[in-house]
């Protein structure tokens, strides 16, 4: 199974793809989609949508996971981030890919073990869990979202088997 993790942002949207085989995770690819800062909101959302479409076509994931938006002090920034997040949810959904959502704290807890870990700790743990990756910043965050989803899928399978036996 392939999972794509997405860390949405209007300027930079990180993406990371992992392959899941039982309890084993393998890094497939990662990167970021960058939009032009001078464009209108609509133009930038189109760039983001088309970029995500190209990534989805290239790596053909079976599932997607998107980091939830955190609220910040600037309502305008929060609304723009929400627009980018909507595109990140829409792009895989339109291709029939199931999309899960995870809070930032849950992603950090799943990867680092602490919900308030800093970005550097997340990058270090992503590199430990996915040997060979050199992902930085947004891409590392996106891989962390994919790892979180992989862990939740495995846990749900175990629970489903336990319920079937009961």
From 47, 67, 123, 141, the catalytic residue: 67
Helix, strand, coil percentages in the chain from 3-state DSSP, rounded to 5: 50, 20, 25
- Determine whether 67 is an active site residue: yes
Encoding tokens for residue 163? 């319920």
> Are 8 and 67 contacting, i.e. CB atoms less than 8 angstroms apart?
yes
d(CA 64, CA 154): 15
- Determine whether 43 is an active site residue: no
From 47, 123, 138, 141, the catalytic residue: 138
From 7, 47, 123, 141, the catalytic residue: 7
d(CA 80, CA 35): 13
Pick the closest to residue 60 from 95, 85, 22 (CA basis).
95
> Are 8 and 84 contacting, i.e. CB atoms less than 8 angstroms apart?
yes
- Determine whether 21 is an active site residue: no
Encoding tokens for residue 60? 């053909």
Pick the closest to residue 147 from 96, 95, 112 (CA basis).
112
Residues labelled catalytic: 7, 67, 138
């Amino acid at each position: 199974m392939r999972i794509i993790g997405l860390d949405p942002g209007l300027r930079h949207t990180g993406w990371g793809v992992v392959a899941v085989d039982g309890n084993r995770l393998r890094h497939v690819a990662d990167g970021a989609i960058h939009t032009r800062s001078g464009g209108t909101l609509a133009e930038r959302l189109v760039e983001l949508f088309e970029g995500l479409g190209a990534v989805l076509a290239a790596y053909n994931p079976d599932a997607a996971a998107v980091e939830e938006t955190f609220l910040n002090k600037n309502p305008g920034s929060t609304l723009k981030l929400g627009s980018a997040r909507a595109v990140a949810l829409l792009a895989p959904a339109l291709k029939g890919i199931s999309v899960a959502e995870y809070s930032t704290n849950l992603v950090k807890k799943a990867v680092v073990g602490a919900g308030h870990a800093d970005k550097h700790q997340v990058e270090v743990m992503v590199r430990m869990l996915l040997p060979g990756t050199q992902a930085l910043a947004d891409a590392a965050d996106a891989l962390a979202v994919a790892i979180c989803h992989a862990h939740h899928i495995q846990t749900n399978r175990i629970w489903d088997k336990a319920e079937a036996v009961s």
